[in-house]
Amino acid sequence: MDVIKSQQISARPIDKVVVHPLVLLSIVDHYNRVARDTKKRVVGVLLGTSFKGTVDVTNSYAVPFEEEDKDTNIWFLDHNYHESMFSMFRRINAKEHVIGWYSSGPKLRENDLNIHALFHDYVPTPVLVIIDVQPKELGIPTKAYYAVEEVKENATQKSQKVFVHVPSEIAAHEVEEIGVEHLLRDVKDTTISTLATEVSGKLTALKGLDARLKEIRSYLDLVIEGKLPLNHEILYHLQDVFNLLPNLNVSELIKSFAVKTNDMMLVIYLSSLIRSVIALHNLINNKMLNKEHEKAEDAKPVAVSTAAGS
């Protein structure tokens, strides 16, 4: 098998994985075409670059994959298809290298380490990105991992590979943002107004913030109760978050918040008044039209009887 190795990618530890929107769209399309409404998962190859511990996932392609439900050690990944696709992608963009693989998961499986070992021929430190194509919670639908050698304390035991979680985020170049914006503009419901879309977006963001705050609170409660060990790195990050919060005890800030709130309430109050006046105006117009129709209906029998008398 002709293996094309990517020597330009370093083997240093991975600090962060950045996933681009095109990759998410491709993986969702792959899942809907192959494994929708089933318990199967889809697998593919991730392409991109790696620089100073940051892995940039810019492209991907699907690979035929099958696995036995009862025996996880039985699985098949089409290497020939992968080699052909990678060769064609290199002709289009030689800067993109194989940096790992993706799975629709939605969680890690027992045979993932065996699949992961295949990609060491292409990159020293491959990454596994699990994409939750049907997320049930708000947040980023990606989870990234890379494998490290776990050394046993007992010298008689052999070391083994284990997955280590690495932070992941969604980012896009300006061209990608424009493309995604046009795509969402085409698929959105035209009956929903822009204001309703913005309000739903704000509501979704607030729900996500509420979920994260609850998660932080539950973690701190478990630490206080002694059920989880104290992690100073997490506490440092939480302290940074709290330090960035505004001081609400400053009189100028309180005054500015009050003025802003009053301005917004004034607009809402005026809008309610205008809506009420318009509704009352329409009601009066309807009553006037109904009264004219009633007069016209009452005038018809009178005209008929007058004509009969003459």
Q: Grade residue 153 by pLDDT with cuts at 50, 70 and 90.
A: low
Whether residue 43 is found in the same domain as residue 171 = yes
Structure tokens at 180: 């995604």
Domain assignment present for residue 1? The answer is no
Whether residue 141 is found in the same domain as residue 270 = no
Domain edge (last residue) among 207, 223, 244: 244
pLDDT, tens digit, 9 for 90 and up, residues 127-140 = 999 998 888 776 78
Domain assignment present for residue 54? The answer is yes
Whether residue 109 is found in the same domain as residue 73 = yes
Whether residue 45 is found in the same domain as residue 87 = yes
Beta bridge partners of 16: 54
Q: Please give the backbone phi and psi of residue 170, each rounded to the nearest 5 degrees, phi first.
A: -105, 125
Domain assignment present for residue 290? The answer is yes
Q: Which helix (H) or strand (E) holds 77?
A: strand 75-77
Whether residue 236 is found in the same domain as residue 251 = no
Whether residue 146 is found in the same domain as residue 240 = no
Domain assignment present for residue 96? The answer is yes
Domain edge (last residue) among 244, 265, 286: 244
Q: What one-character-per-residue DSSP string does 249-289 give?
A: T-HHHHHHHHHHHHHHHHHHHHHHHHHHHHHHHHHHHHHHH
Please give the average per-residue pLDDT across 175-195, as a whole number: 65
Residue 167 corresponds to which amino acid?
P
Whether residue 135 is found in the same domain as residue 149 = yes
Of residues 268 and 182, the one with the higher pLDDT is 268
Domain assignment present for residue 30? The answer is yes
Total domains present in the chain: 3
pLDDT exceeds cutoff 80 at 174: no
Whether residue 232 is found in the same domain as residue 280 = no
Mean pLDDT, all residues of the chain: 84
pLDDT of residue 242: 85
Going by the DSSP 8-state scheme, the letter that residue 101 receives in this structure is E
Residue 35 CA to residue 205 CA, distance in Å, equals 30
pLDDT exceeds cutoff 60 at 6: no
What is the domain range of residue 302?
A: 247-310
Residue 78 CA to residue 115 CA, distance in Å, equals 12
Say which CATH number the domain at 30 has.
3.40.140.10
Whether residue 144 is found in the same domain as residue 262 = no
Question: Which has the closest alpha carbon to 97: 10, 1, 2?
Answer: 10
Find all residues with CB under 8 Å of 136, minimum gap 6, and list them.
none
Whether residue 56 is found in the same domain as residue 72 = yes
Domain assignment present for residue 11? The answer is no
Whether residue 239 is found in the same domain as residue 276 = no
Tally Cβ neighbours within 10 Å of residue 257: 12
Find all residues with CB under 8 Å of 204, minimum gap 6, and list them.
138
pLDDT of residue 179: 74
Percent pLDDT > 70 in the chain is 86
Domain assignment present for residue 3? The answer is no
Please give the average per-residue pLDDT across 198-224, as a whole number: 88
Whether residue 38 is found in the same domain as residue 66 = yes
Domain assignment present for residue 136? The answer is yes
Question: Which has the closest alpha carbon to 149: 188, 96, 118, 113?
Answer: 113
